[in-house]
Amino acid sequence: MPKITVLPGDGIGQEIIPEAVKVLKAVLAGREHDFEFNEYLIGGAAIDEVGKALPEETLQACHEADAVLLGSVGGPKWDTLPAKERPELGALLPLRKQLNLYANIRPVKVLPALLSASTLKEDVVKGVDLVVFRELTGGLYFGEKGRTDNPPAAYDVLIYTEEEIRRILKLAFQTAQSRRKKLCSVDKANVLESSRFWREIATDVAKEFPDVELTHMYVDNAAMQLVRAPGQFDVIVTENMFGDILTDLASMLSGSIGMLASASVSGKKGLFEPAHGSAPDIAGKNIANPLATILSAAMMLRYSFNLHVEAERIEKAVLKVLEQGLRTADLAKPGEKIIGTKEMGDAVVEALA
């Protein structure tokens, strides 16, 4: 029986995950019992309960699952712990690493119903449909870290192996091939050796994909271009930290980071989570936007279970509720009626055709 490990985590994770699970069960109607949904602790919630951000039992359940659905981890309550014990470095990053989820896929699509929700002008964001492939288990976030006393200093090592670069590029090229056949590789090759290495490998991998047009762009320019003329992008591929930053930026094209879904994959296995954080400031108030998580659940059906029809039904339902004018607080313009997290989940269930 296919197994889905469910990890609500912290903050709004506790509110958005039940909505995504509700939508999943509804779209699988009649077959939901063919799937095992098992909930486990992660992040601050796990620290409070069992003293560890990534309990063995949770890691084991993730290894055994076909897919993992995650809310978010972290919050001010655990920020004073030593860095390695905190929810981010103690749970999320090791989980991604242990499951070898090297490819983080973040699609940014500007839905017609949300054109005016973006902080950018409508004619700039109209029609934007891009996807970012962020390398997720290498680079600066996983290199050696440390401090020295004399002189007082701190360091984080940025290192990439050829293999790490090649595999994410291949996936990005394959996706570009099935889309508009444009791949933009983002780096900082004018300064960083790791970027020059990345660029050489990108150029080499491109030989296997002659029908895809490969361009290279410096990350600072990419940040500017994403705001100036985002319609020029089809698929973007980049290293871990650049991808982290650029995807937060790109999420605003679609109106809110509350819309940005993500899949972290390695083959069929994947961890599906919204790109946003645990938003402690709005947690527990039933005001968070569950759509990024619901859309991540749709990505899960597609990537891990080949349930393309069901994935599309969820995506269409999301479109429909937005077209009906339903808005959570992050998407609403002044004067627009606002609905809560639960109500948005219910509306999506109702809209499933």
CB of 54 to Mg ion, least distance (A): 18
Residue 248 catalytic? yes
The answer to whether the beta carbons of residues 241 and 186 sit under 8 Å apart is no
CB-nearer residue toward ligand IPM: 85 or 312: 85
Contact footprint for ligand IPM (CB under 6 A)? 88, 92, 244, 275, 277
- Identify whether 160 is a catalytic site residue: no
Is residue 244 part of the contact set for Mg ion (CB under 5 A)? yes
- The reply on whether position 135 binds Mg ion by CB under 5 A is no
Catalytic-role residue among 10, 234, 244, 330: 244
Contact flag: residue 239 with Mg ion (CB under 5 A): no
Contact 299, 266 (CB under 8 A): no
10, 22, 109, 141: the catalytic one is 141
Which one of 22, 109, 188, 269 is the catalytic residue? 188
With respect to ligand IPM, which residue has the nearer C-beta, 137 or 194?
Answer: 137
**Residue 219 near residue 238 (C-beta atoms within 8 A):** yes
The two structure tokens encoding residue 313: 């039904």
Task: Read off the tokens for 14.
Answer: 């506790």
CB of 275 vs ligand IPM, minimal distance in Å:
5
**Any catalytic annotation for residue 187?**
no
Listed residue (283, 288, 304) closest to 77, CA to CA: 283
Q: Are 130 and 110 in contact (CB under 8 A)?
A: no
* Size of site (CB under 5 A) for Mg ion: 1
Q: Quick check: is 79 catalytic?
A: no
The interface partner of residue 277, options being Mg ion, ligand IPM, none and the CB cut-off 5 to 8 Å by kind, is ligand IPM
Question: For this structure, is 204 an active site residue?
Answer: no
164 binds, among ligand IPM, Mg ion, none (CB under 5 to 8 A by kind): none
DSSP string, 231-256: GG-SEEEE-HHHHHHHHHHHHGGGT-
Q: Which does 46 bind (CB under 5 to 8 A by kind): Mg ion, ligand IPM, none?
A: none
**Contact between 23 and 314 (Cβ < 8 Å):** yes
Q: Is 148 helix (H, G, I), strand (E, B) or coil?
A: strand
Compute CA distances 172 → 12, 42, 68, 191, 335, whole Å: 31, 30, 22, 24, 41
Catalytic residues, by residue number, are 141, 188, 220, 244, 248
Where on the chain is the footprint of Mg ion (CB under 5 A)?
Answer: 244
